[in-house]
Amino acid sequence: MLVLDLALKSLRNRAFSTSLTVGSIALSFALLIGVENVRVGMRESFSNTISQTDLIVGTKGGTIQLLLYSVFGMGAPTENVSWEAYREWAEHPAVEWTIPYSLGDSHRGFRVVGTNEDFYRHYRYRGGQEIALAEGRPNADLFDVTLGADVAAELNYALGDEVSVTHGLGELGFITHDHMPFTVVGILDKTFTPVDRAIYVTLEGMEAIHWEDGAPPASDDEHDHAHDEEAEAAHDEDDHAHDEDDDDGHDEDDHAHDDEAEAAPADDGHAHDQEVEAAAADDGHAHAEDISIEDVEISQVTSFFVGTTDRRDVLQLQRDINDFEDEPMMAVLPGVALNEMWQGLGYAETGLRLVAIFVVLVGLLGMLVSLYTSLNERRREMAILRAVGAGPNRILALLVLESVCLAGAGALAGLALVYGLLAAGQSIVEAQVGLFIPIRPPGPIELLLLGAVVTAGFLMGFVPAFKAYRTALHDGLAVRV
């Protein structure tokens, strides 16, 4: 205890250099613990984005790609699933519920998702929380739209506003469906997940805006049949007019008739062009009020979420979907896909950890330099201690204890700094970034890192301690001229 008391008094006597050293170690250790907390927070935030969903189903491709564009709104799908295939699996005996997603459009950089009422019934996040509405109601009519909380806040939308959807993802869409605007009927409550940054419309509404010229395209048979009827009617009318001219029997009008015959095609062609232009102007685009939800037949979806009646059937259902012969499809387990994603990001996590560890080592080396260079100023102090009976072992223990105290105080201060920043900024980070970083008591990893820093300080303390140990008694007492 005497040596520890001497070490603390010596550190207090050098308060300025001691505080700088402790602060340096605290900041470096706070970075190390902060990186670990952010890593854990990112994993939890991604995992909490979707819960209680057994399978995510889409077209064959990469499992991570399917997870990213279906759940996190990142990336673009390659192909769609036909509505018939979706219905077949939605009605499978092992399936309790499904949530269809139709993607591919956006509005001012925010992704538009076509879905149905099952999204509001069955979608869960963060351990089973349900989707709730802050204002309004869910989509019911063809051109209803519900906004995520961030969309409504950033674009300053309110109930009753109109939203025009753009074909394509991101800020740069290439076709805007201005003739079929959606009306805001609801705004979702904040979830701190990608749900907040999406716009939700009905599947029928998503289908309707992609109809050719605002109406379902006619089949080739219908188009050919209509063209044949028009040609036959025009031919009959021309024959009837020609017979009437022959019955008149006025040969003197032959020249005039020939002139009319030459002029008629030109006149008729001009009139026909005007009719076509007028018809095109009339039929160019249907408007939202011209279509009802009953008129629309859904043709495809991008992906869909599946909840099973019995979770023991999940793996068998996954195999059945992957082996589906009618259409190339793929089912992934959300948790497994997330683990694959984290394995791919493992190199980045390791890199961040190494950077933080090197920063801590730099802080400890700063402590070592401070202790080592201070020995020259403390030569007289060491000599006096030796003169009053302190042996070399006591001097060695004194300097090692000082090093341990500095490292331990810096690590504890860094830990306190991290928890203080988390308490002050958790809600801000969650609101601005959507990243939820939980605040927990120090766990095994934090305690292990704390012990590692103190151990490193203990070992580094032997460097100046051995130098002081070898210093002769008369070195500090001799008067130097």
On whether both 397 and 309 belong to a single domain, the answer is no
Instruction: State both tokens at 196.
Output: 């907040």
Give the model's pLDDT for residue 13: 83
Q: Mean pLDDT, to the nearest integer, of 391-410? A: 88
Residue 229 within a domain? no
On whether both 409 and 299 belong to a single domain, the answer is no
Alpha-carbon distances, residue 211 vs 54, 148, 180, 354 (angstroms): 33, 26, 11, 54
Q: Mean pLDDT, to the nearest integer, of 348-373? A: 89
Residue 274 within a domain? no
What is the C-alpha separation between 29 and 121, in angstroms, rounded?
45
CB-count burial class (<10 Å; 0-12, 13-18, 19+) for 209:
buried
Residue 234 within a domain? no
On whether both 112 and 171 belong to a single domain, the answer is yes
Q: Mean pLDDT, to the nearest integer, of 411-417? A: 94
For residue 129, pLDDT over 70 is answered with: yes
On whether both 71 and 41 belong to a single domain, the answer is no
CA angle 411, 417, 423 (to 5 degrees): 140
pLDDT band at residue 1 under the 50/70/90 scheme: low
Give the model's pLDDT for residue 260: 43
Q: What is the maximal distance between C-alpha atoms in the chain?
A: 151
Residue 71 within a domain? yes
Residue 18 within a domain? yes
pLDDT digits (tens, 9 = 90+) for 431-471: 777 677 878 888 898 899 999 999 999 999 898 888 877 76
Residue 6 within a domain? yes
On whether both 32 and 59 belong to a single domain, the answer is no
pLDDT band at residue 427 under the 50/70/90 scheme: confident
DSSP 117: T
pLDDT band at residue 43 under the 50/70/90 scheme: confident
Residue 420 within a domain? yes
Give the model's pLDDT for residue 286: 52
pLDDT band at residue 47 under the 50/70/90 scheme: confident
pLDDT band at residue 22 under the 50/70/90 scheme: very high
CB-count burial class (<10 Å; 0-12, 13-18, 19+) for 68:
middle
On whether both 59 and 172 belong to a single domain, the answer is yes
Instruction: State both tokens at 212.
Output: 């050719």
Give the model's pLDDT for residue 174: 58
What is the C-alpha separation between 474 and 384, in angstroms, rounded?
10
Give the chain's end-to-end CA distance (angstroms, integer).
38
Give the model's pLDDT for residue 289: 56
On whether both 8 and 107 belong to a single domain, the answer is no
Domain that holds residue 322: 55-214+295-332
Q: Which amino acid is at 141?
A: D
Q: Which residue has the higher pLDDT, 16 or 389?
A: 16
For residue 98, pLDDT over 50 is answered with: yes
On whether both 75 and 169 belong to a single domain, the answer is yes
pLDDT band at residue 310 under the 50/70/90 scheme: very high
Give the model's pLDDT for residue 217: 44
Number of folded domains in the chain?
A: 2
CA angle 79, 84, 88 (to 5 degrees): 110
pLDDT digits (tens, 9 = 90+) for 379-399: 777 777 777 777 778 888 888
Q: What is the mean pLDDT of the chain?
A: 80
On whether both 134 and 109 belong to a single domain, the answer is yes
Residue 258 within a domain? no
H helix intervals, 212-345: 220-248, 254-283, 314-322, 334-344
**Could you tell me if 355 and 28 are in contact, meaning their C-beta atoms sit under 8 angstroms apart?**
no
pLDDT band at residue 211 under the 50/70/90 scheme: low
On whether both 130 and 173 belong to a single domain, the answer is yes
Nearest to 53 by CA among 341, 306, 322, 330: 306
pLDDT digits (tens, 9 = 90+) for 262-297: 434 444 444 444 443 433 334 444 555 566 677 778
For residue 62, pLDDT over 60 is answered with: yes
Decide the pairing of beta strands 110-115 and 198-202.
parallel
On whether both 161 and 303 belong to a single domain, the answer is yes
Nearest to 399 by CA among 415, 416, 413, 379: 379
Q: Mean pLDDT, to the nearest integer, of 170-188? A: 76
For residue 244, pLDDT over 90 is answered with: no
Give the model's pLDDT for residue 41: 83
Nearest to 7 by CA among 459, 473, 374, 395: 395
On whether both 190 and 112 belong to a single domain, the answer is yes
